[in-house]
Amino acid sequence: MSDFSSELIGRSGYEREGFAARFDRYRPRPPEALLASLLQLARVERAALVVDLGAGTGLSARAWEGHADRVVGVEPNPAMQAEAERLTGAANVVFVGAFAQDTGLPGGEADVVTCSQSLHWMEPGPTFAEAARLLRPGGVFAAYDYDVVPVCDREVEEAYAALLARRKAVRAERGIQRGADRYPKDGHLERIRASGRFRYCREFVLGSVEEGGAERIEGFARSLGLPVADAELEDALRYGELREVAERVWGDRVVPLRFGYRVRIGIR
């Protein structure tokens, strides 16, 4: 376990009461097209084993339950792992408490290893080494992230972007580091290539459509998390402004929320 990884997990805010449930309720689910693409690249119709690194509340791991014989979610944060286990009913999906670079799982058995919106928290070298160890020859490692501002409405998107700017200012003022500060997402592909662990690497993009309204867009923004929750922080972030704009534009309607997914792969 690296000092960087353990510090960020400890300061992530995931231990706050109710945060894990909000995370699972409002975050987007991996689209079927993404799963189908990874199975095609792995040259299988159904995976024998999928390992999901940084599994969080199990959103990505549960997506595979109908496409794999076994799914193992690896999550170091106890509160997130507990929520994943509480929400998962499929017998073929299990979770282990471990860091991505030291899963303790047998090697050479996985058809697919994934990092869903999580690779920026991880030390690249050891994580890629562990992913390659877990994969059988020809297996696929995939790190995928979605855009945090969905395509939905100009005014709502502008209000969301303004909230993100306030979050950035709060982080700078309080000295709060993000995983992406050290390992930016736009550098994932180059780091995968530079690791030398994979014979073929590339990036592709996909789209996904989910539904939501004012509650969903505010809940999604809140699910991004900060390691503190107090009245001063609530005042500074002003989540209510985003909700007010969404309610003015949409009323109580449910509308399409279009998420862009950026997928970086390495084939062992």
pLDDT single digits (tens) 185-211? 999 999 999 999 999 999 999 999 999
The 3-state secondary structure of 71-111, one letter per residue? EEEECCCHHHHHHHHHHCCCCCEEEECCECCECCCCCCCEE
Contact 82/56 with Cβ under 8 angstroms? no
Whole-number pLDDT of residue 9: 43
Cβ atoms of 160 and 149 within 8 Å: the answer is yes
Q: Name the residue type at position 170.
A: V
The partner residues of 203 in beta bridges, in order of sequence, read: 264
Confidence band for 244, pLDDT divided at 50, 70 and 90: very high
CB 258 within 8 A of CB 209: yes
Q: What is the pLDDT of residue 4?
A: 36
Greater model confidence, 104 or 5: 104
Within 10 A of 246 (CB to CB), how many other CB atoms are there?
25
Which CATH class for the 3-148+177-209+255-267 domain? alpha beta
Structure tokens at 95: 């979770």
pLDDT, tens digit, 9 for 90 and up, residues 116-148:
999 999 999 999 999 999 999 999 999 999 999
pTM of the model: 0.90
98 pLDDT higher than 80: yes
Determine the pLDDT at residue 227: 55
Residue 8: pLDDT band with limits 50, 70, 90: very low
pLDDT at residue 181, rounded to an integer: 73
Residue with tokens 């662990």: 197
pLDDT at residue 100 in the model:
97
| Dihedral pair phi/psi, residue 15, rounded to 5° | -80, -15
Q: How far is CA 14 from the centre of its chain?
A: 13
The residue among 175 and 75 whose pLDDT is bigger is 75
Please say if the pLDDT value at position 81 is more than 70. Answer: yes
DSSP, collapsed to helix, strand or coil, labels residue 5 as helix
In the predicted model, what is the mean pLDDT of residues 31-50? 98
Nearest alpha carbon to residue 97 among 110, 85, 81:
81
Given a contact cutoff of 8 angstroms between Cβ atoms, the answer to whether 114 and 53 are in contact is yes
Q: Is the pLDDT of residue 242 over 50?
A: yes
Q: Over the chain, what is the mean pLDDT?
A: 91
Q: How far is CA 72 from the centre of its chain?
A: 15
Reported confidence tier of residue 178, pLDDT bands at 50, 70, 90: low
What is the predicted pLDDT for the residue at 236?
86
Distance from C-alpha of 99 to C-alpha of 122, rounded to nearest angstrom: 9
In which band, very low, low, confident or very high, does the pLDDT at 17 lie, cut at 50, 70 and 90? low
Is residue 3 scored above 90 in pLDDT?
Answer: no
